Each structure stands twice: as structure tokens, then as C-alpha cells.
Chains A and B, each alone.
Chain A
Amino acid sequence: MTPTIDLELILYITALGLISIGLAGVVLSQHLFRMVLALVIAEAGANLMLVLAGYRWDAVAPILTSLGEHPQMVDPVPQAMVLTAIVIGVGIQALAVSILIRIRQRFGTLDRHEVAAHMDAEIAQIAGTSRDMSQESPLGERPLPPLPGTPAASREGRS
């Protein structure tokens, strides 16, 4: 086992760890601003993964230093993709942050559950229904369960 394989392993673990930590943050965080930060981390991990996909351990950077000779170079295509992905990422981040500012101006809080409750209340008020909806007891009629034993084709033909 040469040291180069170890370097690749370290970088892969870093990239996958960043993606996992970012997604865990998105799932677990209660605060919306923390959620944006977690998304930034996940995006950084994805960028590292993409650059890693074009990495060769025996190559040089994709810049020609002298005419005539052609040394092994790392793959320039993923690098170009990551270059644009980083710039797009900061644009999306600014958009998310400005939406957060509006949410705070509207509801006065950034807690995930409180904002969700406020939004539910507003939607219910506009729709004119009571907002006490839950997964277990929905307001409307339950859809009929499919009849057991009937093949799908005959059901379609009946309706």
C-alpha cells in the first residue's frame, strides 16, 4: 500500500463526511439560519467530491508551463464545473438569506416549528378551513382503499 492511496482515502472521507454533516444539519437543526449554514457545508463537500473525481496522483495542475512537453495533467473538466458551481452557490446563498430576512420581518421568529405553524395558520385562513390538520385524522373524506383481489386493469375499466 503506497501513501498515495491513503491520501485519496483521507480526501474521500473528508468529502463524504462534509456531505453527511451538512445533511444531518439540515434534518436536525431547529433554527432556519443554521439550516442555511448546513446547506453551505453540504455544498462544499459536493464540490470536493467533484474535484476528487478528476484527481490523478501522478499528475500536475492543468496549466501548460513549457512548450513541447506534455506531462500528465489532472482532469480539467470537473474543475471547470466546480468553478461555476461555487459562484452559483454564493448566489443561491444570498437568495436564501434574503428570504430569511423576509420571514423574520413577517413572522418575527426563525424557529422552524414556529414558522411552520404561522404559515399553516395563514394558509388555513386564506383557504377558510380550520388549521388543525394532522396525518392521523385528515379533515376530508378518506380515499377508499383499493379493493383486495381485483387486478388493476379491471379497476381502471370500471372507472
Chain B
Amino acid sequence: MRNLTGLLFAGGLGFMLLSIASGLDFGAPPMLVGEAIQSVAPQETGATNIVTSVVLGYRGIDTLGELSILFAAAAAAGLVLGRRHTTAGTLTEGGFVLRYGGAMLFPLLMTIGFYIIFHGHLTPGGGFQGGVILAAAFFLPLLARPGARLHHGMLSMIEGFAGSSFILIGLVALAEGEAFLQPMLIQDTLGQLVSAGTLPLLYLAVGLKVGAELAGLLSHLAQTESEA
């Protein structure tokens, strides 16, 4: 009976959404804001990737709020999981291939992560994607050697430094008489690596913060004792 009600609910919801969506104009949505941003974004922010200029330039304070939400979620997860118990004695060490493969992948993953972060204003990619790859690079040795420990104090330092530098760059713009988080130092060389002023710095801060947060979260999750 309950299953039937649930299925009816889901089917009715899908039908309702489909009938609403069928009234939409397919393939040619009105995009007033989008068109306005597209026509001025390369000159105003100096970034060829317009999504980056939206994320960090036009909606920068939104990104700051998003980082706060991520920080709150990671902190709450750490709080809920509570004290760490070491599982070093109970878990077996990984094999030869796993250990040395992990060690060899670490510099490659670091290079790719920083490449994606630094080219965020030119090509697809940026702080979020690169940050996740950095977190994976730091988490990989933990999978190979269960006894190894991430330095949590170091991670908190990186995270706090990155978060505060994001806000500081915004405040510097405020001190210059511009709006909060307004992109500055725009050079006239569109498409160069050093071109978009403060946007790559902001993305570097985002990447370090996301990477440190997720690496800490993963190691916390991996090191919590299973049975109470």
C-alpha cells in the first residue's frame, strides 16, 4: 500500500514536471543576463573562460558563500564523527604495486591539479576541479598505507590561509575604491597565462581551500573506527 502510494507520488510528480516543461521554449531560452555578460566579460575581467568570470567576477560573493557552506559541512562532519581512533594495527599494508604506484602517481596528480587551477581562466577547469584532484593526490598514499596519517594541523593552516586570502583580495579591491571582490589588475593581453588580474589568484585560493577541506574530510572518514 505504502509502496503504491510512493510510486503514484513519483509518477504524478514526473508527469506534472513533464507537462510544465513541455510548455517551455525548446532550445532558445531568453538569456538577457547571459548575453549582457558575454558581450562585456572578456574586456571587464580579461578571462577567456566566461564561466570563470561569472564564478569569480560577477558572482564572487556567491562563491564565497559556497565556500562557507562547504566549510560548515566539513566541520559538521568532523564534529559528528568525533574523535579519531587509529586503525593502524588492524589493517593490512597494501601490496608492492599499490604502494609504489601511489608514490609515483602523487607528483603527477599534483602537476595536473595545479595545471587545471592555473589555467582556469583560459580553458575549462579551475579551482574546484583542481582542488578535488589535489585532495585525491593527498588521499592516495592513505589508501596504500593505512597506518599513514595526514597532518591535520597543516591542512587546517592551508585551509585558513586560503580562505582568508580569498577575503583579503576582496578587501583590497574594496580599499582601492571598487566593489568587494571586483577583479583588478586587468592587463590587455587576452588569452595569456598571466592575463586576468586577480582571478587566477582567487581560483588558487579556492583550489587550495577545497583540496585541503576534502582531503581532511576523506582522511577523517577513512580513520574512524567502524564498530562502536
Determine whether A and B are in direct contact in the complex, meaning some CB atoms lie less than 8 angstroms apart: yes
Binds B, one of A75-83, A135-143, A148-156: A75-83
Interface flags for A3-38 (1: CB within 8 Å of B; 0: not) read 011001100110011011101100110000000000
- Interface majority SS on A: helix, strand, loop or mixed? helix
Nearest-neighbor residue (CB-CB) of A80 within chain B: B54
Q: A33: shortest Cβ distance to chain B, in Å?
A: 14
B77 near A20 (CB under 8 angstroms)? Answer: no
Residues 6 to 49 of chain B near chain A (Cβ within 8 Å): 6-7, 9-11, 13-14, 17-18, 21, 26-29, 31, 33-34, 37-39, 42, 48-49
The CA of A84 and the CA of B137, in the complex, are separated in Å by 22
Q: Which of A20, A67, A104 has the most CB of B within 10 A?
A: A20
Residues from chain B with a CB closer than 8 A to the CB of A5 are 26-27
The reply on A98 being an interface residue by CB < 8 A is: yes
Q: A66: shortest Cβ distance to chain B, in Å?
A: 9
The CA of A105 and the CA of B228, in the complex, are separated in Å by 5
Nearest-neighbor residue (CB-CB) of B78 within chain A: A98
B29 near A101 (CB under 8 angstroms)? Answer: no
The reply on B55 being an interface residue by CB < 8 A is: yes
The CA of A13 and the CA of B14, in the complex, are separated in Å by 9
Residues from chain A with a CB closer than 8 A to the CB of B10 are 20-21, 23-24, 27
- Are A75 and B27 also in contact (CB < 8 A) when A16-B14, A70-B39, A87-B70 are? no
Interface residue count for B (Cβ, 8 Å)? 56
A19 near B6 (CB under 8 angstroms)? Answer: no
Interface residue count for A (Cβ, 8 Å)? 52
B70 near A4 (CB under 8 angstroms)? Answer: no
The CA of A23 and the CA of B6, in the complex, are separated in Å by 9
Binds A, one of B59-67, B86-94, B99-107, B109-117: B59-67
A84 near B62 (CB under 8 angstroms)? Answer: yes
Residues from chain A with a CB closer than 8 A to the CB of B81 are 98, 101-102
B37 near A98 (CB under 8 angstroms)? Answer: no
Q: B133: shortest Cβ distance to chain A, in Å?
A: 13
The reply on B208 being an interface residue by CB < 8 A is: no
The reply on B191 being an interface residue by CB < 8 A is: yes
A54 near B38 (CB under 8 angstroms)? Answer: no
- Are A76 and B48 also in contact (CB < 8 A) when A84-B63, A91-B69 are? no
Residues from chain A with a CB closer than 8 A to the CB of B59 are 77, 80
A76 near B38 (CB under 8 angstroms)? Answer: yes
Nearest-neighbor residue (CB-CB) of A79 within chain B: B51
Residues from chain B with a CB closer than 8 A to the CB of A105 are 227-228
Residues from chain B with a CB closer than 8 A to the CB of A67 are 190-191
The CA of A90 and the CA of B54, in the complex, are separated in Å by 22
The CA of A16 and the CA of B10, in the complex, are separated in Å by 11
B73 near A75 (CB under 8 angstroms)? Answer: no
Q: Which of A8, A24, A79 contacts B27 (CB 8 A)?
A: A8
The CA of A98 and the CA of B17, in the complex, are separated in Å by 33
- What are 11 pairs between A and B in contact, CB < 8 Å? A23-B9, A23-B10, A24-B6, A24-B9, A53-B29, A73-B50, A76-B51, A77-B33, A87-B70, A95-B76, A102-B81
